[in-house]
Amino acid sequence: MSKSHPVFGDAEVHPVTGRHIEKGVGALPYHVQVAQHLREIEAESGRERADEMRAAIKALEAEEEDKVEEAAEAETSEGSTSSRSGEL
């Protein structure tokens, strides 16, 4: 979800940490910002809470990777079906 932030301007709120991810020129890479947020959360709320978030992030990333793979497989099967219809 993108929204305006008074300091970061156009920012995205991370779905697990709830912290703002800076975007645009001069912003650190997404994964670097998330790692920094997790270090801050660990310092503020303890390692257990940060580890819960790390696990949730890994699960979210795995789910997104599965969706990408499914889309690629669907695209490949559509391409092979359309190429076969051209052979008739």
pLDDT class of 2 with cuts at 50, 70, 90: low
- Residue extents of the structural domains in the chain: 2-87
Q: By mean pLDDT, which of 43-47, 49-53, 68-72, 80-84 is the weakest?
A: 80-84
| 24 φ, ψ (degrees, to nearest 5) | 95, -170
Tell whether the model's pLDDT for residue 86 goes beyond 80.
Answer: no
* pTM metric for this prediction: 0.70
